[in-house]
């Protein structure tokens, strides 16, 4: 796990540090909102696609089919980047400023 890893969200083209967190938690810490619900890798609300890089999962078998894994889908709520990653998250938004 790299604490220096950078996560880039597409199509927003926004990059932020992973800081050893899951992609979902790092995105939230950087001011972005991704769809999420269970946060434990089962509900699939947060499903995205890994465009480049590699991740490790906090759970043994996240809620993805073998075909989805082959097609580079991931669940950002339980995926920790192993280095720089680019994630296709079309539903990601910046958090509204308060």
Let me know if residue 86 belongs to a domain.
yes
Rounded to whole angstroms, how far apart are CA atoms 11 and 96? 18
CATH of the domain at 54: 3.10.20.30
The pTM of the full predicted model, rounded to 2 decimals, is: 0.91
Q: What is the mean pLDDT of residues 20-27?
A: 97
pLDDT in tens, 51-89: 999 999 999 888 899 999 999 999 999 999 999 999 999
Let me know if residue 33 belongs to a domain.
yes
Sequence-distant (6+) residues with CB within 8 A of 62 are 41, 42, 74, 75, 78, 79
Q: What is the mean pLDDT of residues 6-28?
A: 96
Let me know if residue 63 belongs to a domain.
yes
Please give the pLDDT value at position 2.
43
């Amino acid at each position: 796990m790299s604490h220096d890893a950078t996560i880039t969200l597409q199509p927003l083209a926004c990059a932020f540090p992973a800081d050893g967190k899951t992609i979902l938690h790092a995105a939230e810490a950087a001011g972005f909102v991704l769809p999420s619900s269970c946060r434990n890798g089962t509900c699939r609300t947060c499903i995205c696609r890994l465009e480049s890089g590699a991740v490790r999962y906090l759970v043994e078998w996240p809620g993805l089919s073998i075909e989805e894994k082959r097609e580079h889908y991931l669940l950002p709520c339980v995926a920790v980047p192993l280095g720089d990653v680019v994630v296709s998250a079309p539903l990601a938004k910046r958090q509204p400023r308060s």
